[in-house]
Amino acid sequence: MMKRIVYREWRIPPARFWGILGILASVIGIGTLSFGYMEHQGHWVTGMNNAVVWGLPHVFAVFLVIAASGALNIASIGTVFRKPIYKPLGRLSGLLAVALLMGGLLILVTDLGRPERLIVAITSYNFSSIFAWNIFLYTGFMAIVIAYLWTMADRQGGPFNRPVGILALFWRLALTTGTGSIFGFLVAREAYSAAILGPMFVILSFAYGLAVFLLVLMFAFAEEGRVIGPKILRRLKNLLALFVAGALYFMLIYHLTNLYAAKHDDFESWLLLHGGIYTFAFWVGSILIGGLLPLWILYHPEKGKNCNWVAAAAALVIVGGLSTMYVVIIGSQAYPMPLFPGQTILESGFGDGVGGRAASYWPSIPELLLGLGGVAVGLLITAVGVRVLQFLPESLADDVVPVDEETLGEAAFAKPA
Amino acid sequence: MKDENRTNLEPVDRERRTFIGAAAGVGASMVAPGVILHAVEAAPRATSVSSDVRWGLAIDTAKCAEGCSACIDACDRENGLDLQTKPKPLSESKWDQQKAVWIRKVKLQDNQTGRITNLPMMCQHCEDPPCVDVCPTGASFKRADGIVMVDRHLCIGCRYCMMACPYKARSFIHEALEGQLTSVPRGKGCVESCNLCVDRRDYGEESTACADACAAEGHNAIVFGDLKDPESPISQLLKALPTRQIREDLELNTGVRYAGV
Ligand code: SF4
Ligand code: SF4
């Protein structure tokens, strides 16, 4: 009953395709202009300052980087964990991983104070810097994923598929942990010094990566009239729900451990109760929009079966993810550095959190456009990729997708004894 | 590029400096309009930086006067920070957070006793500097004599060091700079911080601009010197007064010590 999976290029009408490409290219163009502007003027045109040194571009960049790692998850589940039903999705999963990573890295680079010195970063290396290690992790990731794609697409690569898949899986976990550790290694920052940050980034990456993957898949299929059968939709949305619930759980643990580690409870009570925009972003953005609402949709008996609602849930997860990154990256910088425990700072010539006040940061338009530009780069690579190469399965209808071992189990279970 | 001066660590420059140093022995000399070299008696250091010394500061907060900004003004002049200009469209409050600050005054109040303390804060010249650990290019580095500084020609402006520094000691240059001092190369898009007047070190001068200025005001709250020399005034002071490191818990073994906090 299982048919051979046929992959086919994305054959939407050329006008439509070029239209989509045009939109993405203009977003990239505007992002490039913002980059030029920030570069020419200097960072004073951004909202960043000497207290909040990483702004909105880093929010987008880190989101894309970890979403990239999470997007590869689908391929891993298919090959490494031998769930054949995910196999047809492996190629798109790999492509998205590379594309999102490119987008994220481009943002990181264009937000440097001296991007033209990137070559310095490559030639003069500080091996004790986790940041420098991340460059290896990122480039290695791309190479491995490309190899992985080859094993999926080429018959000769077949035998290597699983080994490369396993390598990709571990590399990916290292990459996300490494990205999380960029923050975890900062002994100085109250918010970050929790061992749980790395694992939390891994589970967040699962959720964000799958959400992006789902949206892209649904859009591509809907545009061309390919079918996503209820069986695979149910699997994917259950998986998303699982990851979102996991992310919620980890965030809870993270904040609770921080709250009970006496040293951090100032920061936590600030963030959870009095942090203004950050408190709002946390409760409304991360918890409600990025967690509870999508869970409600995904587990809803009716809405959970509806393509549009599932897509909406995925979109909410992405919004919530950006908001989580905002809280993690910017909130923790805005919170004053604990320099003098037991003392209140009355005056300072450098905004050390006078009277415990948080530093101010408000993102500027160019920063936002730069971030969106990076997202568009990821999507453009994906769009071109699926157009020219055979990344998308022809159909994901129930009778085409490989046997779903779980459904078999359920069917047996459902039979009256 | 206008602001592309060489750092004091490159060999070419060391030679140039020897030459300039010889010329400067006579007194302040004008090399270019607006650029005045310091008048120094001693010849510039010909040998490499040695780890026989570790430069540091001891700060007696009891002597630091409220409202005094002599150290800050001196630092700004010494390092050309007074040459920064606010980009026109920028608001004052934002500029306050974006301009470079190498040394700042902080006024504290003890939550329990209400006791007020004033002190200057700057890069603490950590023995195990987190900024150096994280810097991807090695632009942040520690010299053998304990001075932590940024190589302005390696820095890519990633600002990871600023994220890592527990003392908020570093500044990012947010705007284009004009009319700088040759002795202190600075530039848009790079990070910088107090370097214990490294230029003076290389000329074998006694002290830092901030310590000199504080002494000139009659406060003597800042003492500069060699922490490794038991006879130096700074070591004597540290022996006599109870001092501590800020954020001792991080065990960075800072080169700047405070009495009375
Ligand atoms: S105080 Fe900050 S900038 Fe200075 S050495 Fe320590 S970590 Fe580096
Ligand atoms: S901003 Fe410059 S000095 Fe700081 S970590 Fe990055 S490259 Fe190193």
A174, with CB counted inside 10 A (0-12, 13-18, 19+), is buried
Q: For chain A, positions 106-145, list CB contacts with chain B under 8 A.
A: 112-115, 117-118, 120-121, 124-126, 128-132, 135
pLDDT mean over B10-27: 38
- A202 and A312 Cβ atoms separated by less than 8 Å: no
Q: Is A115 in Cβ contact with B156 (below 8 Å)?
A: yes
Structure tokens at A118: 């990137």
Q: Is A342 in Cβ contact with B112 (below 8 Å)?
A: yes
Cβ-based contacts of B71 with chain A (< 8 Å):
none
Distance from CA of A138 to the nearest CA of B (A): 14
If one counts the domains in chain A, the total is 1
- pLDDT at site A185: 66
Domain assignment of residue A407, yes or no: no
Residue nearest to atom 4 of ligand 2 (CA): B161
Handedness of CA A129, A132, A138, A143 (dihedral sign): negative
Domain assignment of residue A157, yes or no: yes
Residues of chain A with pLDDT under 50: 1, 408-417
pLDDT mean over B174-197: 90
| Residue-wise pLDDT tens digits, B64-121 | 999 999 999 999 999 999 998 899 899 998 999 999 999 999 999 999 999 999 999 9
Q: Is B159 in Cβ contact with A44 (below 8 Å)?
A: no
> Is the confidence at residue B2, as pLDDT, over 60?
no
Structure tokens at A72: 């590869």
- The range of the structural domain enclosing residue A236 comes to 7-337+360-402
Residue nearest to atom 2 of ligand 2 (CA): B155
Structure tokens at A165: 């898949």
- A52 and A46 Cβ atoms separated by less than 8 Å: no
Q: Is A50 in Cβ contact with B162 (below 8 Å)?
A: yes
Domain assignment of residue A355, yes or no: no
Instruction: Choose the residue to mutate in B7, B131, B132, B135 for probing ligand 2, maximizing ligand atoms within 8 Å of C-beta.
Output: B135
Cα distances (angstroms) measured from residue A277 to each of A284, B4, B80: 10, 41, 37
- A245 and A207 Cβ atoms separated by less than 8 Å: no
What is the per-residue DSSP string for A344-383? EEEEETT-S-GGGPPPP----HHHHHHHHHHHHHHHHHHH
Kindly give the number of the ligand 2 atom that is closest to the alpha carbon of B138: 8
In degrees, rounded to 5, the angle at the alpha carbon of residue A207 between the alpha carbons of residues A206 and A209 is 65
- Both ends of chain A: CA-CA distance in Å? 25
Q: Is A346 in Cβ contact with B108 (below 8 Å)?
A: yes
Cβ-based contacts of A350 with chain B (< 8 Å):
101, 104, 121, 168
What DSSP element (H or E) covers B258? strand B256-259
- pLDDT at site A4: 75
Ordered by where they begin, the domains of chain B are 2-38 (no CATH), 55-259 (3.30.70.20)
B59 lines ligand 1 (CB under 6 A): no
Q: Is B172 in Cβ contact with A50 (below 8 Å)?
A: yes
Contacts of B169 (CB under 8 A, 6+ apart): B121, B122, B123, B124, B193, B194
Output the pTM of the full model. Answer: 0.88
Q: Is A126 in Cβ contact with B108 (below 8 Å)?
A: no
- Pick from A172, A174, A194, A175: nearest CA to A183: A194
In percent, how much of chain B has pLDDT > 70? Answer: 82
Q: Is B137 in Cβ contact with A125 (below 8 Å)?
A: yes
Cβ-based contacts of A44 with chain B (< 8 Å):
87, 90, 94-95, 98, 174-175
Structure tokens at B111: 């939550």
Structure tokens at A71: 């997007």
Cβ-based contacts of B136 with chain A (< 8 Å):
121, 125-126, 129, 131-132, 135
Residue A113 in 3-state DSSP? coil
Structure tokens at B170: 């570093």
- Name the one residue in this structure whose structure tokens are 């409304």: A284
> For ligand 2, which residues put their CB under 6 angstroms from it?
B 134-137, 139-140, 150, 155-161, 191
Q: Specify the range with the lowest mean pLDDT, choosing from A161-165, A238-242, B122-126, B179-183.
A: B179-183
Where on the phi/psi map is residue A389: left (φ > 0), alpha (ψ -120 to 50), or beta? beta
Residue nearest to atom 2 of ligand 1 (CA): B165
- Name the one residue in this structure whose structure tokens are 């004033």: B118
Residue B224 in 3-state DSSP? strand
- pLDDT at site A191: 67
- For B165, half-sphere exposure in the C-beta direction (CA atoms, 13 angstrom radius) is 31
- Pick from A147, A36, A122, A48: nearest CA to B97: A48
Cβ-based contacts of A366 with chain B (< 8 Å):
none
* Spatial separation of the C-alpha atoms in residues B160 and B142, rounded to whole Å: 16
Domain assignment of residue A411, yes or no: no
The amino acid present at A354, given as its one-letter code, is V
* Spatial separation of the C-alpha atoms in residues B97 and B191, rounded to whole Å: 14
Which is it for strands B256-259 and B243-244: parallel, antiparallel or unpaired? antiparallel
Ligand 2 centre from B21 Cα, in Å? 30
| ipTM metric | 0.87
Domain assignment of residue A347, yes or no: no
Domain assignment of residue A19, yes or no: yes
- B142 and B148 Cβ atoms separated by less than 8 Å: yes
Q: Is A117 in Cβ contact with B174 (below 8 Å)?
A: no
- B225 and B56 Cβ atoms separated by less than 8 Å: yes
The amino acid present at B34, given as its one-letter code, is G
pLDDT grade for B221, boundaries at 50, 70 and 90: very high
- Pick from A284, A270, A289, A263: nearest CA to A331: A270
CB of B138 within 8 Å of a chain A CB? The answer is: yes
Residue nearest to atom 6 of ligand 2 (CA): B158
* CATH code, domain with A190: 1.20.1630.10
Domain assignment of residue A1, yes or no: no
- Name the one residue in this structure whose structure tokens are 């991360």: A286
- pLDDT at site B44: 54
| Chain B residue with Cα closest to A128 | B133
Cα distances (angstroms) measured from residue B20 to each of B16, B46, B149, B181, B185: 6, 13, 23, 14, 16
Q: For chain B, positions 150-189, list CB contacts with chain A under 8 A.
A: 154-160, 162-168, 170-176, 188-189
CB of B244 within 8 Å of a chain A CB? The answer is: no
Instruction: Choose the residue to mutate in B149, B162, B170 for probing ligand 1, maximizing ligand atoms within 8 Å of C-beta.
Output: B170
* Spatial separation of the C-alpha atoms in residues A3 and B178, rounded to whole Å: 70
Q: Is A186 in Cβ contact with B156 (below 8 Å)?
A: no
Structure tokens at B26: 């006579």
Which is it for strands B222-226 and B243-244: parallel, antiparallel or unpaired? unpaired
Residue nearest to atom 4 of ligand 1 (CA): B123
Domain assignment of residue A284, yes or no: yes
- Pick from B95, B118, B81: nearest CA to B261: B118
